[in-house]
Amino acid sequence: MIDRISKLLARFDELDLDAVLVSSAYNRRYLSGFTGSSGYLIITKTARYMLTDFRYIEQGKEQCIAYEIIDYYKKGLLDTIEDILLKESISSIGFEDSKLTVKEFEQLITKFESIKWIEMNNMIEEIRMIKDDSEIELIAHAASIGDAAFSHIIDYIKPGMTEIEVAIELEYYMKKNGASKLSFDSIVASGKRSSLPHAMPTNKVIEHGDFVTLDFGCIYKGYCSDMTRTIVIGEASDKQKEIYALVLKAQLNACNHIKAGIIGKVGDGYARDIIDKAGYRINFGHGLGHGLGLEVHEKPRLSLLSEDLIKENMIMSIEPGIYIPGFGGVRIEDLVLITKDGIRNFCTSPKELIRT
């Protein structure tokens, strides 16, 4: 935690900050280790406070060793903040402008008129883009639960099952194998429904000849995984083979070329150009990938317009797809660590077309 706090302190001068107020759950957890549902951090150049309520005092003391824990219910939140700001002689404080509600912000600026409230502009989210060793290890483990779940599900899935039955089995397997929750609602889309990039599982029965796209992930000790595979039930048609081979070619080309130092739109192009040249430009309408960590979608992005600089120790998805209404779709998604020379792929599941 101290390393993460140091990274934040190193950026205080950019915005002329004396302190920051952190109110959002993911940033709070990142900077303190606190897993509870309610709490505020106040971090100054020399002191750290975690404000929470009675339910979390004991837990806070265990998890947030670097912080002084204060029960703000005793005096009320605003008066508790006031005590700290006075004690620490704070005259300017950064806040999470993309997280605080308008009402919360108005209460703060009304109560503390003499203090300068400064928008942090996702400063903490930017620090979170670069993963430290412990985060890399947890995400790798979350991804390994996903790989194991996929290998289980390709033995389990049979024609006649519904999409919902398959999704439940996936989710049960991940939770039974160490996941605390899902990182998002699992996608199981079969047959023509596989042309819907974010289809929710339904009672549709999986049939012989269907493409089935499985996009799923879990949370392990707070960190997400995310992977996608498309399989075919029984024999693939020539058209299915063609589309699948094209998405795979694009995905492999991106995996082979993405490395630290490129710009997001260049990374996106490694996959998109191949799909465009084959005539499927309009069938790949989403970005190639996104950052991932405590949240399943984080900065940076690999997309058509992304100017984000891709750096070492970012963790990103690489997930091209082709979606053809009335026919179906294919997406192949791996989760990778960006390295100086390329990537380290956390997903070990096979990528050639699996027929079950």
In the region spanning residues 34 to 53, those forming contacts with Mn ion, defined by CB under 5 A, are none
Shortest CB 339 distance to Mn ion, Å: 20
In the region spanning residues 209 to 228, those forming contacts with Mn ion, defined by CB under 5 A, are 226
Pick 262 or 335: Cβ nearer Mn ion: 335
Task: Please report the sign of the dihedral spanned by the C-alpha atoms of residue 236, residue 240, residue 244, residue 245.
Answer: positive
Confirm or reject binding of residue 334 to Mn ion (CB under 5 A): no
Shortest CB 301 distance to Mn ion, Å: 11
Pick 9 or 200: Cβ nearer Mn ion: 200
Pick 125 or 226: Cβ nearer Mn ion: 226
CB 217 within 8 A of CB 294: no
Shortest CB 286 distance to Mn ion, Å: 9
What is d(CA 191, CA 236) in angstroms, rounded to the nearest whole number? 12
Tokens (6 digits) for 223: 């960190």
CB 292 within 8 A of CB 298: yes
Pick 32 or 183: Cβ nearer Mn ion: 183
Give the total of residues touching Mn ion (CB under 5 A).
Answer: 2
Pick 90 or 142: Cβ nearer Mn ion: 142
Pick 96 or 226: Cβ nearer Mn ion: 226
Tokens (6 digits) for 147: 């790989």
Shortest CB 3 distance to Mn ion, Å: 27
Shortest CB 335 distance to Mn ion, Å: 8
Pick 72 or 270: Cβ nearer Mn ion: 270
- Give me the residue label for tokens 């002689």: 89
Pick 4 or 301: Cβ nearer Mn ion: 301
What is d(CA 126, CA 314) in angstroms, rounded to the nearest whole number? 11
Pairing assessment for the beta strands 315-318 and 334-338 based on DSSP bridges: antiparallel
In the region spanning residues 297 to 326, those forming contacts with Mn ion, defined by CB under 5 A, are 317
Pick 48 or 301: Cβ nearer Mn ion: 301
Q: How many CB atoms lie within 10 A of CB 6?
A: 9
Shortest CB 94 distance to Mn ion, Å: 30
Read off the amino acid at residue 91: S
Q: How many CB atoms lie within 10 A of CB 110?
A: 9
The percent of the chain in helix, strand and coil, each rounded to the nearest 5, is 40, 25, 40
Read off the amino acid at residue 238: D
Shortest CB 317 distance to Mn ion, Å: 4
Shortest CB 296 distance to Mn ion, Å: 7
What is d(CA 160, CA 169) in angstroms, rounded to the nearest whole number? 15
Shortest CB 333 distance to Mn ion, Å: 5
Kindly write out the interface string for residues 226-265 of this chain, putting x where it contacts Mn ion by CB under 5 A and - elsewhere: x---------------------------------------
List, as one string, the DSSP characters of 126-149: HHHHS--HHHHHHHHHHHHHHHHH
Q: Name the 3-class secondary structure at 215.
A: strand
Pairing assessment for the beta strands 92-95 and 19-22 based on DSSP bridges: parallel
- Chain residues binding Mn ion by CB under 5 A are 226, 317
